[in-house]
Amino acid sequence: MSSLDSSFVKNSSWKPDLFKGKVVFVTGGAGTICRVQTEALVLLGANAAIIGRNQEKTAKAAQEMSQLRSDAKVIGLGNVDVRDVQSLVKAVDETVKQLGRIDFVIAGAAGNFLSDFNHLSSNAFKSVISIDLLGSFNTVKATFEQLRKNKGAIIFVSATLHYYGVPMQSHVGAAKAGVDALSNALAVELGPLGIRSNCIAPGAIAGTEGMDRLAPPEQRKSIISKTPLQRYGSTRDIAEATVYLFSPASSFVTGTVQIVDGGLWHLGGMMGDFYPNVIISAGEDDPKL
């Protein structure tokens, strides 16, 4: 089911038709964070194409999101692999055919899991780099002509994992560092064409697949205590940052990373209670290649 509803517009700081006539193209759009990003844009007038690998999940999410606004058009394009640029090109062509244009792009497809270096195989490392970093590049590559034509904007969904050393996350930290670097380069290269490029770096966001997978239940209270704002983030927090970065309010903002984590990264992240014992014990096993 949808995570936002019409009350978002009633209680929002944003104008109801802020994105009327605009179209957003979202990879990973059926996932928890990217879905709510998309819902906020749809509620504020945009139409959307959500892109995913799972056909059934993607189509179901699109159908549910199309109910958020009486005249909303949300299409779900499944069986799309962001590692294959031609797969994305076909999705772009279908989006333009059905929705007419693309103004905004959210590159949100990602893969993650916990693994110490000793048990992180070369193939597993490559897989995360391919989805997160190459997939982000391919997404912009496939949508570039539409972005140039419509003087559009890009948001990459990044992370804070490369701001310091985070155990069990070397693969994702490396990938997201690349995503930030890619966004910065595109901000400089594409700015003269009227295209803006920014990142959003979520922190500990409650109710997300990533939080469920990466934070053990016994660790979650300590995460709140280490977060300066003393709470988990919500998917709405990410949605609000997304609306800002696509809105005219940020028309002179490009090449930035909007960190939405309540200040947690300043205190060194989430693994402190388990370090170094969990790493030492994992390193004693035979390594994977």
Residue with tokens 């990003």: 37
Concatenated DSSP letters for the chain? --S--THHHHT-SS-TTTTTT-EEEEETTTSHHHHHHHHHHHHTT-EEEEE-S-HHHHHHHHHHHTTSSTT--EEEE-S--TT-HHHHHHHHHHHHHHHS---EEEE---------GGG--HHHHHHHHIIIIIHHHHHHHHHHHHHHHHT-EEEEE--STTSS--TT-HHHHHHHHHHHHHHHHHHHHHGGGT-EEEEEEE-SBTT-HHHHHHS-GGGHHHHHHHSTTSS-B-HHHHHHHHHHHHSGGGTT--S-EEEESTTGGGGT-S-GGGTTHHHHHHHTSPPP-
225 is annotated as an active-site residue: no
- Select which of 12, 66, 115, 158 is catalytic: 158
Q: Is 176 a catalytic residue?
A: yes
Q: Answer whether 236's CB lies under 8 Å from 208's CB.
A: no
Residue pair 201/160 in contact by the 8 Å Cβ criterion: yes
Task: Point out the catalytic residue in the list 12, 22, 176, 197.
Answer: 176
Amino acid at 148: R
Q: Which residues are catalytic?
A: 158, 176
